[in-house]
Structure 1
């Protein structure tokens, strides 16, 4: 498991599963000859996208960013459609660190699409229960509201079994949630309630852009997904927060990237420092 260590904070990437989605959908209007130079694509026009939560240990607490694709939540048809050939191994990853899901204190959800939220619940004795029963689950208020009342477009990705069992654990915020070194900021864009996460530690900064910059190949502010509900908000969010990060020589961390776990960029967008995913 790959790690990033700051002065007082440790990041560890867990095994949350993998999807393979259409490259055209993931890069929107960007022509394939351009995006395919930046990110590998298979003969089905799919790109590999991890769904690997980040365990962040700070101030004696265990924080989880996102929850993985889950295990046993997808039908065979869904696995084919979403290109899932590996499901979550979160419990095994935690066990390797001497932890269990009961040890997670906070789960920070940038948004609640199925590929981020499936790992929040599991089926047990014929009903869905919380995977992290001792955790406070944090989401923007807008995201939480739409999750429970999806529209005609979003109902395909907001699933009742992902929110009903954990609703008593959820804490929401309007614009920002501040907790120790963590700040969650509502950005909109990819979804109306999408948020990013900023972590500060003694002059070091980490910015988790979530699905505003799903992979290192999405660093161009105009390269946004066809999946984005509000693409102009995605562009505005990337302009603001990538500038913020680069001015601080911050790390960008990834949930979906199949190549890098974290990178730093120079003023021209070149990768100066990186933590690669071990395959």
Structure 2
């Protein structure tokens, strides 16, 4: 399990599952000859996207950023369509760290699409129940409103089975939320209308979790957004703002989906200064 320390916080990447969506969808209008130089693609034009939550420990809190895809949450047809080759091993990883799901205080959900939220719920004794039984699940009010009342497009990714069993645990915020000292969830929009970005400030050290507004390192160019983005111009504006901020402060950028990189620190020109590779890194 790869780790990164930012001030008082220790971050550990857990295994939340693997999907293989279409490369054209992940890179939108960017031509394949361009994006395929930066990100691996298979013969079916699928790209590996991990769904790995980040465990955050510090200041008396034990939190998760995102929730993974869970176990037994997809039909066999969905597994084929989404290219799911690995389901969640979060409980095993927590156990290896001396923790259980009951130790999680907060789950910080940047948004509630199925590949981030399916791991909030499990089927047990004939019913769907929360995975993180004691946790407060935090997401923006706007995101929660669409999650529970999706439109004709978003109904394909906001599934009742992923939110209804945990609705009593959800706490929403309008614009910002500070779940622990130095950690801020800020609603920015972009990938979804209620999308949030998570930042961590610890003295001179900073971290930015862009989630699906920059799902992989290959999406570093501000115009490279996914076809799944509901508001692509907002995604571009958010990237412009946070990339400039991150370059100037030499922030770490963390990833939930990248199959090779866990985190990257850029210099002031946007060049890679340091990086943390995952198991598939080269």
- Shorter-chain TM range is over 0.9
| 2:129 counterpart SS class | strand
Counterparts of residues 111-260 of structure 1 (less than 5 Å): 111-179=111-179, 180-260=181-261
1:205 deviates by 0.2
Where do 5+ consecutive residues of structure 1 fail to align? none
- Residue equivalent to 1:20: 20
Distance, in Å, in 2 between the alignment partners of 1:278 and 1:9 is: 22
| 1:47 counterpart SS class | coil
1:274 deviates by 0.2
Where do 5+ consecutive residues of structure 2 fail to align? none
| 1:46 counterpart SS class | coil
| 1:197 counterpart SS class | strand
1:267 deviates by 3.3
Could you give the per-residue CA deviations for residues 99-120 of structure 1, whole angstroms, max 9, x where no partner exists? 0000000000000000000000
Distance, in Å, in 1 between the alignment partners of 2:203 and 2:104 is: 24
Greater shift in the superposed pair: 124-133 or 265-274: 265-274
Contact 2:6–2:207 under 8 Å retained in 1: no
- Residue equivalent to 2:52: 52
TM norm structure 1: 0.98
1:278 deviates by 1.9
Give aligned pairs, total.
279
1:56 deviates by 0.4
Distance, in Å, in 2 between the alignment partners of 1:203 and 1:106 is: 25
- Residue equivalent to 1:38: 38
Distance, in Å, in 2 between the alignment partners of 1:127 and 1:251 is: 40
Could you give the per-residue CA deviations for residues 192-233 of structure 1, whole angstroms, max 9, x where no partner exists? 111110001121000000000000000100000000000000
TM norm structure 2: 0.97
- Residue equivalent to 1:272: 273
Greater shift in the superposed pair: 237-246 or 108-117: 237-246
1:270 deviates by 2.0
Distance, in Å, in 2 between the alignment partners of 1:182 and 1:10 is: 13
- For the aligned residue pairs, the C-alpha RMSD in angstroms reads 0.8
1:269 deviates by 2.6
Could you give the per-residue CA deviations for residues 217-259 of structure 1, whole angstroms, max 9, x where no partner exists? 0010000000000000000110111111111100000000001
